[in-house]
Amino acid sequence: MAVDMKIPPVGESITEVTVGTWYKKEGDQVKMDEVLCGLDSDKATFELTAEADGILHILAQEGDVLPIGASICTIDNSGSAPTAAPTPAPAKAPAAAEPAPAPQPEAAPAAEGGKVIEMKVPAVGESVTEVTIASWSKKDGDQVALDEVLCELESDKATFELPAEAAGTLRIVAQAGETLPIGALIAKIETGSASAQPASSPQPAPAQPAAPAPSAEALGNGQNGYAAHYPSPAAAKILDEKGVTAQQVQGTGVGGRITKEDALNASPAPAQPAAAPQAKPAESKPAPTAPAPVAAGERGQRREKMTSLRRTIARRLVAVKNETAMLTTFNEVDMKPVMDLRAKYKDKFKEKHGVGLGFMSFFTKAVSVALKDFPAVNAQIDGDSIVYNDFCDVSIAVSTERGLVVPVIRNADQMSFAQIEKEIIRLAGLARDNKLTIDQMTGGTFTITNGGIFGSMLSTPIINAPQSAILGMHNIVERPVVVNGEIVVRPIMYVALSYDHRIIDGKESVSFLVRVKQILEDPARLLLEM
């Protein structure tokens, strides 16, 4: 019995995942709860564990995007039955075959019963209602083996391979390019009528020794060319990225099929675009110096598929720009009082609390106070209503290799400087290790992003929906300013507040930013709650 492994639900807002690295190979023996592969979503990375002991059969390759509930692999826990099925068939065939064609090995399926297995379009996800037949790897009338790939099915989210449910003769019902609903009949496999087809082959018996027909072994070795130079979905993506055509790669899979390993080993072909323009201008233009600049250096390109996280970031940022009335207001902050306070107490602070005293804790505390004074900045729109929050869950933007993530500091208004610093370090570490949970990244009421660590002088940050405002920090630069009628040099930081004008008026946005400026330029206000 085969256990069908499907993509598990990993969060309310996650509808699809990308297959990461497979830690097991096709046909490997796996154990219960053993990690099979990694799954990447737009928010986090998950591990898929085996649901039973048995032999692994992989259905989706690395890089494939699958919806929640789609089949990713099967585990055959019935022992070696699938692999032993093809071998006893030829042994039983000579005894059950007719006397005339006794020497022919193709008569093996005749020993099986006369069953017809109907192959139907499987369910590939809750939101997928129909699929399109991309291409057939087998032809009508071909002999197929159990679990052998018959065709590829494309949905609006991913590409799937349809394996044979039994060994026998394939009868194709739907052709390539047709769109079928889930559960529709796509093909039939005749497990008993296969004997009828070999029975008719003895008539041209003399012709068989001279020109042998493609036997089961020939099919497996690709001698009939039915799948030669035909890539699997994962291999096709890799070849497309490398700019290599399928005809340039020799497949090592079944029937000459190009596997993912073949595609990875295929060398990119930059010589084609370089050589073709070089030869044609030389023939069309008499001047020999014309093609010289083309050969001066290589102009390579590479194409990489966007990760789920990057696609989600792009989709949400565009949605915010289109769905909110976003404006940005600016101000400048004299950071000297904060810097003097840090320089005076940073050593004792670290000695007592075990963490450094950074700028982010000052900004978090200042924002928490200002949000209490201007509740509209801490609110959000829900349909025709405005939801006001009497708590401050401050989101902190963290840059990782996979993209920007925004973990949340819960109840930041009730935390001390040391607690905020420790929580920032903990969340940043989880973010860089891709171990943040969905709960740790949702539910914030206001966001702070610090582009200054990368050298940004000024920017207009985009709101983190469904929040209504975001504060942007920038680098600190010494600038001449006028203080008490005198020009002095002070460390100045530009700060920006992007806000949704539908809920926050201009007066509130400017007043909020001024309040943050006042607290940072006079940190004693935090102690006196002024």
Greatest C-alpha distance within the chain:
115
Q: Catalytic pick from 156, 347, 390, 505? A: 505
Residues 41/11, Cβ–Cβ less than 8 Å = yes
Whether 505 sits among the annotated catalytic residues: the reply is yes
Residues 18/61, Cβ–Cβ less than 8 Å = no
- How many other C-beta atoms can be found within 10 angstroms of the C-beta atom of residue 44? 23
Distance CA 56, CA 8 (A): 18
Q: Catalytic pick from 4, 140, 390, 501? A: 501
- The three-point CA angle 236-241-246 to 5° equals 40
Whether 353 sits among the annotated catalytic residues: the reply is no
Q: How far is CA 341 from CA 11, 345, 359, 492, in A?
A: 43, 6, 11, 16
In sequence order, what are the beta bridge partners of 386? 381
Sign (positive/negative) of CA torsion 177, 178, 180, 183? negative
Q: Which residue spans within 244-377 are E strands per DSSP?
A: 326-334
Distance CA 24, CA 5 (A): 14
| H/E run at residue 21 | strand 16-22
Distance CA 413, CA 415 (A): 6
CA nearest neighbour of 492 among 441, 444, 452, 447:
452
Quote the tokens at residue 420.
């905020």
- By CB atoms closer than 10 A (0-12, 13-18, 19+), residue 312 is middle
Residues 278/291, Cβ–Cβ less than 8 Å = yes
| H/E run at residue 242 | helix 233-242
Residue 394 makes CB contacts below 8 A (sequence gap 6+) with: 364, 367, 368, 408, 409, 412, 444, 445, 446, 447, 448
Sign (positive/negative) of CA torsion 356, 358, 364, 370? positive
Active-site residue set: 501, 505
